[in-house]
Amino acid sequence: MAGRVVGEREAMDLEEVLAKVVELGREELHIVRKRAEEKTAARDHGRDYEEMVRAADQLDHHAHQLRRLHDGEFGPRWRHESRQDGAAGS
C-alpha cells in the first residue's frame, strides 16, 4: 500500500508503519542481545553501538508516527493503557 504525499515525501500508512516498527524493533533487539552475549557495557561505543542508536532513533520516530495514525483512526478518547504516555512526549 502506498501512502499519501506530504510535502516532498510520501506519508506512510498504518500497514507500512507497523511493518517498519516490527523491522526496526527486531534490528535493535538483535543488537541488544548480541551486546549482552558479549557482555558489552552500554557506555562502550563501537560500530554496533552506533547501529543500535540509529535503530532506536528510527524506531522511536516510527512509533510516534504509529501513535498519530492510531489517534487519527480511533479519535481522541480511545486510550486506556497509554493515556499518560502522550502528555510528556506528544
Confidence (pLDDT) at 6: 44
Q: Check residue 66 and give its pLDDT.
A: 92
pLDDT at residue 17, as a whole number: 94
Alpha helices in 1-90 (DSSP H): 14-37, 47-74, 85-89
Show the domain range for 46.
11-75
For residue 81, being part of any structural domain is answered with: no
Does residue 50 fall inside a structural domain?
A: yes
Per-residue pLDDT in tens (0 to 9) along the chain, 90 residues: 455 544 445 678 999 999 999 999 999 999 889 888 888 776 777 778 888 888 899 999 999 999 899 989 998 788 887 767 655 444
For residue 85, tell me if it sits in a domain.
no
4 in any annotated domain = no
User: What pLDDT does 65 receive?
Assistant: 93
Number of domains in the chain: 1
- Residues 84 and 53: their CA atoms lie apart, in Å, by 25
Residue 39 lies inside a defined structural domain of this protein? yes
The long-range contacts involving 29-32, CB below 8 angstroms and separated by at least 24 positions, are 31/55
